[in-house]
Amino acid sequence: MPGYIIRRLFFAIPTMFVIILLTFLLMHMAPGGPFDDLVDIDPEVLANLRAAYNLDDTVWKQFLAYLGGLLQGDLGPSLVYREQTVGHIIAVGLPVSVTIGLSAMTIGLSIGLVCGIVAALKHNSVLDYTLMAAAMTGVAVPTFVTAPLLILIFGLYLSWLPISGWNGGQIQHLILPVTALAIPKIAAIARIARGAMLESINTDYVRTARAKGLGEFKVIVHHVLRPVFIPITSYLGPAIAGVMTGSVIIEKIFGLPGIGRAFVDAALNRDYPVVMGIVIVYAAFIVLLNLIVDILYGFLDPRIRQT
């Protein structure tokens, strides 16, 4: 296992490099620039601005300069918010996104797992059909529909909860965005858990355990549930990274100062360093969480344990 972890970390380096390179090239290939909105600016001042941020160099020189700064832990300055660095923007927005994301994933995993297990145990019953119909609806209806509906019902009609803002992360400001973000996670995990549970129930070793007279509760807990966590773990890796690094739609709708909203604003304004910084953070989360998932595989199923 230690050797496998070291190899995965080693292969993560070229993966990160390719992601950084492609993102950098795509951003510079997009039409427009960070100073296009300065229509009345003197050409000489514009030239000085471009020189100050190395935008007058070739793309490759800019990339090498950025890479050199990145290796020193410097993500560079924002081209739009010139008084702020990229590191500061991420440091301010990431805790918001992480709070919202982890809360949604915790709720999604808890409720989704229970619903999936219950649906599998009550296979082909009314309860099974009801839970799966709800899960299908949760997967099919996008968050840009559910979020406004939650705002309309609980924020405007009932006036129970605030509809926007962060306010230091107070509970009442978290309920609606976390719920909107958790609904598709609950639905996806419930469907995955049900399918894995039904497959596990029908395996030979479960039939053998029942034939030996083992109680149904012990069969479920000791023989059926463990394999269920393998596909769920596969789903959780990228899913956690996605919600932790910012749900663009949720943060926009609820006016949350997370890095998802910062990413959209930076992309629209051609703020290359901010886009690059957020992509690097997201990619690092993906690589790290996929590594954790692979390690967990070995504990959940010894047959796939890496050496």
Averaged pLDDT in 10-residue chunks for the chain of 307 residues: 69 83 80 64 67 71 82 80 82 86 89 88 86 86 86 86 81 88 89 85 74 72 74 80 74 84 80 84 81 71 56
What's the domain range around 236? 87-259
Would you say residue 181 lies in a domain?
yes
Contacts of 102 (CB under 8 A, 6+ apart): 240, 243, 244
Would you say residue 62 lies in a domain?
no
> Would you give the DSSP letter of residue 123?
T
Would you say residue 198 lies in a domain?
yes
pTM equals: 0.76
Contact 102, 174 (CB under 8 A): no
The pLDDT of residue 263 is: 83
* Residue 49, token pair as written in the block: 């601005």
Q: Determine the residue type at 241.
A: A
Would you say residue 72 lies in a domain?
no
* Residue 284, token pair as written in the block: 């690092």
Contact 177, 103 (CB under 8 A): no
Would you say residue 295 lies in a domain?
no
In angstroms, the CA 229 to CA 217 distance is: 18
The pLDDT of residue 111 is: 92
Would you say residue 306 lies in a domain?
no
The pLDDT of residue 36 is: 61
The pLDDT of residue 286 is: 81
DSSP secondary structure, 34-85, as one string? TTTT-TTS-HHHHHHHHHHTTTTS-HHHHHHHHHHHHHTT---B-SSSTTSB
Look at the chain and report how many structural domains it folds into: 1
Contact 75, 273 (CB under 8 A): yes
Would you say residue 13 lies in a domain?
no
Would you say residue 42 lies in a domain?
no
In CATH, what number is assigned to the domain containing residue 211?
Answer: 1.10.3720.10
* Residue 302, token pair as written in the block: 């010894």
pLDDT tens, position by position, 196-209: 888 877 777 777 77
